[in-house]
């Protein structure tokens, strides 16, 4: 099947082997270590490394005096051991001679203070002269390695917007105005309309009068339409910066694949990734904790990546406890590093590189531990790394060509969170609801995943749209078509309240979705006095935000009741949950935001309506995730507990890790992994 005909989130990789390895920094060690490192990596079943993302100063110690000899030697020594290389453009860390001569290239914070040398991501990616430097070093690197078959792909820069995404320098002011001119067809009249500048007498006569909205309050709240456009600009401008590098790399050697290692905020990765072969994501699960229920932190991060391009790569996966100047994460227990790696693979990764090969002895990350410690002695992390590599070498061909099964899609949209954020009155953002839904359904062993609102809904049985406050006709028609064809839909409060300019719509809510939902929204607001009673079930769902629904063609399923002070708001007994039959499907509307109580009840209802089957039966925080292709399915079982767990109702087939037959039931050891092929 043509990959382009598949929904984006279901596209497999085109790798010819499962990639396994580590991030390697030969510049941090004596050159004589390279061959020893390569031999030890081969012993650990490594087939790829990533390097050079922070080495600009070594590759160009003086302007125009390029020296790639260290990395050429490393690439060749690694290849002699059967190990390929992913190179990175080094633009996240420009050398001192560049920043010394051009202080005007530095980013500027909200208070007008320029950044200084001595960290990373300190140069402004919108400065035209820094962009020229970015193109220059990218071309020099590409030309130096264009004929080296050991270099199989590239990563652009490193973790765009990891530390800072906003900049208020003059170059950004100019770039923002140019972006606005292009968006509004050179018409200041169009911009004034889109921003609603008649409010508070904000009208502009020319684009040169516009400044980046620097603060949320200056002294009163900023224009929410301007703030949303600034978020759009941040995404588009970094996409443009990356595109210049991508074009050079593709010109020099079209056979290279190209990726970038996200995932952070203020980048619309669905659009950003269109210039890439696939997106990648760096995963450090300990940021979310190490309790069994904390699996959801890394799962949602993997899903934010997968929704952009389908199968993906992990250039940095936890290789030990992470630590910088002011923190040190807990040391992963034996087995957990490998478990976390398989978690990303279950979500769709076709490559796994651990950070880092050896812990650095200096710098801001001297306590960000790698596979080897400072003394270079292989210990239990190396043994676990080696085990993981051996397993992936043996079963990697089974994984390649499969993609994650998704029966229930959770709608994901970059602009939805930002439209909420600029005027949220303490409501939970869509992202919080997405994570809640993902966690609840994963605990129920349902095949669930994020699906971009611009992607195809083909193959989904259920679509959940959590508070998509911005809606246009294209999105609305897609949702209608999904339900009409037999899909089950759940929409939560505030969906469709605003147009693409972040203006409140003039139609009665839910606006463009009124017909498919079969309702109108008569009133909405915050409350401390309401609970929802689910019809016929005797279940109360607490809520601190309410919408009063008027059913037109829909059936009421639950009504609001007062907990206290009944005279404070609209009448008790009004509808808060509805279901509308539309075409062959059903559309539910929940007049509040999902919380733990309401998610548990409503998601069970949805799955029953759609006939969703579970992937297996076991304890709550044991994850079961399926990847599949036309000729096989792989059921991943991930035990997040420090004790063994029994798993039942699995498919019958071969368990790939132990190479034993699974009759539908198996016991997974503490922090263990099983993969059943059926």
pLDDT above 70: residue 536 = no
Model confidence over 274-288: pLDDT tens digits?
Answer: 999 999 999 999 999
CA atoms within 13 A on the CB side of 76: 9
pLDDT (0 to 100) of residue 105? 96
User: What is the chain's length?
Assistant: 678
What gap in Å lies between CA 595 and CA 591, rounded to an integer? Answer: 12
- 10 Å CB burial of residue 321 (0-12, 13-18, 19+) is middle
**Local confidence band at 533 (pLDDT 50, 70, 90 cut-offs):** confident
pLDDT (0 to 100) of residue 437? 98
Mean pLDDT computed over 649-677: 98
Is the preceding peptide bond at 510 cis, omega within 30 degrees of 0?
yes
562 phi, psi to nearest 5 deg: -90, 135
pLDDT (0 to 100) of residue 560? 85
Based on its alpha-carbon atoms, the radius of gyration of the chain, rounded to whole angstroms, reads 26
CB 301 within 8 Å of CB 340 = no
Model confidence over 39-88: pLDDT tens digits?
Answer: 999 999 999 999 999 999 999 999 999 999 999 999 999 999 999 999 99
Is the preceding peptide bond at 597 cis, omega within 30 degrees of 0?
no
Greatest pairwise CA separation for the chain in angstroms: 80
What gap in Å lies between CA 656 and CA 653, rounded to an integer? Answer: 9
**Local confidence band at 106 (pLDDT 50, 70, 90 cut-offs):** very high
Domain ranges of the chain: 170-228, 408-610, 622-677
CATH 3.20.10.10, domain 408-610, yes or no: no
**Local confidence band at 381 (pLDDT 50, 70, 90 cut-offs):** very high
What gap in Å lies between CA 186 and CA 303, rounded to an integer? Answer: 38
Token pair belonging to 463: 């679509």
pLDDT (0 to 100) of residue 544? 81
Among 414, 411, 420, which Cα is nearest to 469's? 420
pLDDT above 70: residue 354 = yes
The residues that are catalytic are: 159, 316
pLDDT (0 to 100) of residue 570? 54
Percent of the chain that is helix, strand, coil (3-state, to 5): 35, 25, 40
Among 493, 440, 460, which Cα is nearest to 585's? 460
pLDDT (0 to 100) of residue 421? 84
What gap in Å lies between CA 107 and CA 113, rounded to an integer? Answer: 8
pLDDT (0 to 100) of residue 423? 78
Residue 507 Rama label (left phi>0; alpha psi -120 to 50; beta): beta
CATH architecture for residues 622-677:
Sandwich (2.60)
* Domains 408-610 and 622-677 agree in fold: no
**Local confidence band at 409 (pLDDT 50, 70, 90 cut-offs):** very high
Between residues 521 and 326, which one has the greater pLDDT?
A: 521
Percentage of the chain surpassing pLDDT 70? 96
Model confidence over 206-221: pLDDT tens digits?
Answer: 999 999 998 666 788 8
Calculate the average pLDDT of the chain: 94
pLDDT (0 to 100) of residue 670? 98
**Local confidence band at 566 (pLDDT 50, 70, 90 cut-offs):** low
Among 392, 402, 467, which Cα is nearest to 630's? 402
Of 130-144, 244-258, 526-540, which range is least confident? Answer: 526-540
**Local confidence band at 2 (pLDDT 50, 70, 90 cut-offs):** low
Mean pLDDT computed over 306-326: 94
What gap in Å lies between CA 269 and CA 13, rounded to an integer? Answer: 17
- 10 Å CB burial of residue 659 (0-12, 13-18, 19+) is exposed
**Local confidence band at 574 (pLDDT 50, 70, 90 cut-offs):** confident
Mean pLDDT computed over 650-665: 98
């Amino acid at each position: 099947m043509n990959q382009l005909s598949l929904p984006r989130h279901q596209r497999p990789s085109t790798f010819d082997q499962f990639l396994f390895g580590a991030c390697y920094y030969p510049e941090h060690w004596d050159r004589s270590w390279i061959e020893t490192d390569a031999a030890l990596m081969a012993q650990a079943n490594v087939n790829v490394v990533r390097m050079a993302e922070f080495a600009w100063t070594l590759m160009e110690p003086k302007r125009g005096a390029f020296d790639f000899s260290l990395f050429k030697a490393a690439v060749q020594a690694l290849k002699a051991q059967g190990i390929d290389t992913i190179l990175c453009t080094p633009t996240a860390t420009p050398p001192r001679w560049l920043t010394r001569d051009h202080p005007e290239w530095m980013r500027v914070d909200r208070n007008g203070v320029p950044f200084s040398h001595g960290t990373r991501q300190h140069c402004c990616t919108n400065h035209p002269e820094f962009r020229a430097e970015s193109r220059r070093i990218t071309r020099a690197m590409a030309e130096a390695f264009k004929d080296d078959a050991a270099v199989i792909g590239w990563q652009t820069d490193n973790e765009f917007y990891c530390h800072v995404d906003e900049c208020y320098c003059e170059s950004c002011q100019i770039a923002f105005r140019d972006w606005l001119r292009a968006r509004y067809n050179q018409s200041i009249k169009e911009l004034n309309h889109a921003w609603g500048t008649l409010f508070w007498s904000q009208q502009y006569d020319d684009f040169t009068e516009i400044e980046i909205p620097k603060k949320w309050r200056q002294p009163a709240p900023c224009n929410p339409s301007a703030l949303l456009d600034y978020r759009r600009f941040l995404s588009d401008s970094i996409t443009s910066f990356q595109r210049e590098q991508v074009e050079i790399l593709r010109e020099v050697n079209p056979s290279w694949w190209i990726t970038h290692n996200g995932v952070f905020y203020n980048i619309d990765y669905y659009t950003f990734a269109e210039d890439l072969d696939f997106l990648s994501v760096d995963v450090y699960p300990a940021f979310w904790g190490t309790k069994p229920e904390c699996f959801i932190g890394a799962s949602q991060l993997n899903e934010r990546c997968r929704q952009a391009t389908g199968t993906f790569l992990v250039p940095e996966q936890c290789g030990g406890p992470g630590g910088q100047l002011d923190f040190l994460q807990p040391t992963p227990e034996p087995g957990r590093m490998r478990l976390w790696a398989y978690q990303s693979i279950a979500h769709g990764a076709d490559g796994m590189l651990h950070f880092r090969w050896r812990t650095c002895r200096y710098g801001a990350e001297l306590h960000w531990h790698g596979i080897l410690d400072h003394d270079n002695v292989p210990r239990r992390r190396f043994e676990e790394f080696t085990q993981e590599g051996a397993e992936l070498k043996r079963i990697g061909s089974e994984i390649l060509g499969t993609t994650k099964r998704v029966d229930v899609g959770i709608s994901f949209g970059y602009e939805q969170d930002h439209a909420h954020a600029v005027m949220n009155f303490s409501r939970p953002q869509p992202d919080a609801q997405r994570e809640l839904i993902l966690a609840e359904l994963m605990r129920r062993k349902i095949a669930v995943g994020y699906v971009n609102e611009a992607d195809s809904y083909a193959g989904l049985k259920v679509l959940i749209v959590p508070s998509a406050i911005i809606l246009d006709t294209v999105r609305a028609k897609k949702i209608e078509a999904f339900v009409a064809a037999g899909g089950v839909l759940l929409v939560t409060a505030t969906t469709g309240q605003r147009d693409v300019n972040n203006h409140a719509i003039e139609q009665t809510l839910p606006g463009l979705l009124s017909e498919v939902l079969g309702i109108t929204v008569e009133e909405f607001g915050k409350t401390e006095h309401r609970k929802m009673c689910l019809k016929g079930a005797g279940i109360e769902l607490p809520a601190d935000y309410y919408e009063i629904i008027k059913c037109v063609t829909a059936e009421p399923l639950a009504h609001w009741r007062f907990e206290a002070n009944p005279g404070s708001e609209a009448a008790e007994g009004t509808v808060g949950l509805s279901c509308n039959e539309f075409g062959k499907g059903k559309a539910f509307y929940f007049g509040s935001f999902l919380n733990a109580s309401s998610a548990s009840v409503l998601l069970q209802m949805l799955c029953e309506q759609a006939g969703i089957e579970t992937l297996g039966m076991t304890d709550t925080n044991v994850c079961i995730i399926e990847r599949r292709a036309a000729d096989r399915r792989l059921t991943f079982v991930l035990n997040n507990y420090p004790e063994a767990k029994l798993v039942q109702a699995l498919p019958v087939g071969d368990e790939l890790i132990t190479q034993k037959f699974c009759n539908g039931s198996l016991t997974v050891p503490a922090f263990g992994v099983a993969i059943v092929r059926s």
